[in-house]
Chains A and B, each alone.
Chain A
Amino acid sequence: MAGVAVSTTINGDHVEYLCQPDETLLEVLRDRLGLTGAKEGCGTGDCGACSVIVDNRLVCSCLVLGAEAEGRQIETIEGMAHGDQLHPLQQKFLEHAALQCGICTPGFLIAAKDLLAKNPSPTEEEIRFGLAGNLCRCTGYDKIVRAVQDAANVMKGA
């Protein structure tokens, strides 16, 4: 198979890579670019562990081809903190112990970031529906919801 040359922007940085036409964006991020924050939980769009933002839309990177990233703006978990300065969502996930094993966490953080960007004051129900595409087998979701609520309050005050 001939490789596809892709030129894109990831977390504000210009990035170029060659990938196979059937390679997913998740595989490109993890295996070619060393950005292993996005996880593969299912590979079929069900768990959200691979969530990234492409041109301001939350998507599962396991259901996007690497070739489709041409000319796009991609945001991954690696771009969420500014140096040592954690994003309020990251800080609140820590404070509320909103993770145990942590495999779902990058996906939840990206999905929550997208949720708050579009709806800065979500109700509990809106948070639960908004994050329904992300699965967590450890926390029981409650602490995640609390952390997002708390982060929303902090971010509104900022």
Chain B
Amino acid sequence: MRYIRPLSIEDAVGELARAVGPAAILAGGSDLLVRMKGGFIEPELIVDIKAINGLSDIQETADGFRIGAAVPCAVLGENKALRKAWPGVVEAAKLIGSKQVQGRCTIVGNLCNASPAADSVPALVAAGAKAVIAGPSGKRTIAVESVPTGPGRTSLAKGEIVEAILLDKRAPNSGDAYQRFIPRTEMDIAVVSAGVNLTLDEHGVIKAARVALGAAAPTVLLVAEAAQVLVGSKLDEATLERLAKVCSGACRPIDDKRGTIEFRRKVAGVLAKRVAATAYERAGGK
């Protein structure tokens, strides 16, 4: 096995593209090292991306935010401007693991590990975040929901690295939120989760919405029908009930030791209501 720490994205892409055996990208290592130790993967090459120029900072640009792929979640939580603009994304990232894990884990690692229960992903999908990908044939920018394709699988080609996550500049009267259900209060994997992002008009009527569910299907679900239910409303009781119904119906969950299909469906609806209410409040509604 070889460990390298390239200084440029071009070198990192080149090394990955040339690799003959299995190769792995190392960000915070909180999934990768656990899988290596468990013997689930045996990479011949490890490309540590943390020394690559430009990957370790959060930039506020004219278009919004650019979060480098090597920025640990603890740093996201310390960024006031990001917390103010995208509180739902930040609260989701802050739920990952313990203080110890927070010091290392990244939202890009969370996305590329492609667990259906990844906490930051529903929030990123609801936020309409994009992933900037560098590869052997240049750069491309895609919606984050196009990265995971199934449990543990992504659409990334050999040699491709997610370089950054882009979040739009916030429109006025906008707010987002994320919650998960876990049987404990800390350090657990989401049984089911929901992220909601709303923009209101000046009268508090929802004019744009995105609703995403986690751990409810093989990949995060973007529930377009749920957004349609919300748009045009002021989040009255009847709208919330319809939202819950649509979200429960959209789930395609599995039965496992952490929850049954029936339980996950029910809780998806309950969480969607609660999260929508928080997002609405953050957007200045009521």
Within 8 Å CB of B50, what residues of A?
Answer: 68
Q: Does A48 contact B (CB under 8 A)?
A: yes
> If the complex has contacts A21-B2, A57-B72, are A129 and B37 also in contact, measured as CB distance less than 8 A?
no
Asked if A139 lies at the interface with its beta carbon under 8 angstroms from chain B, I say no
Residue of B nearest to A71 (CB): B51
Q: Quick one: closest B residue to A4, CB to CB?
A: B3
Q: Are A133 and B100 in contact, with the CB atoms below 8 A?
A: yes
**Which listed residue, A24, A64, A67, A132, touches B187 by the CB 8 Å rule?**
A132
Considering the complex, which residues of chain B in the window 87-116 have a beta carbon less than 8 Å from any beta carbon of chain A?
A: 97-101, 103-104
The 0/1 profile, CB within 8 Å of B marked 1, for residues 105-142 of chain A is 00000010011000000000000011111100000000
Give the A-B pair count, Cβ closer than 8 A.
Answer: 87
| Cα(A29)–Cα(B36), bound, Å | 20
Query: Would A129 and B186 count as touching, CB distance under 8 A?
Result: yes
Q: Does B145 contact A (CB under 8 A)?
A: no
Q: Nearest B residue to A110 by beta-carbon distance?
A: B100
A43–B3 Cα gap in the complex (Å)?
A: 20
A44 to B185, CA, bound (A): 20
Interface size class of B (residues with CB under 8 A): 20 to 34
Known: A130-B99, A133-B99. A57 touches B74 (CB 8 A): yes
Of B27-35, B164-172, B266-274, the one touching chain A: B27-35
Contact B1 A63 (CB under 8 A): no
Chain B residues in 8 Å Cβ range of A20: 1
Q: Which of B37, B98, B104 contacts A132 (CB 8 A)?
A: B98
**Contact in complex: A133, B98 (CB < 8 Å):** yes
Judged by a CB distance under 8 angstroms, whether A1 is at the interface is yes
- Chain A's nearest CB lies how many Å from the CB of B275? 21
Q: Quick check: B3 and A67 within 8 Å, CB to CB?
A: yes
Report the bound CA distance from A27 to B38 in whole Å: 16
Contacts of A150 in B (CB 8 A): none
Which residue in A21, A24, A58, A63 is a CB contact (below 8 Å) of B3?
Answer: A21
**A–B Cβ pairs within 8 angstroms, 12 of them:** A21-B3, A45-B97, A45-B98, A58-B103, A63-B33, A63-B34, A65-B48, A68-B5, A132-B186, A132-B187, A133-B97, A133-B98
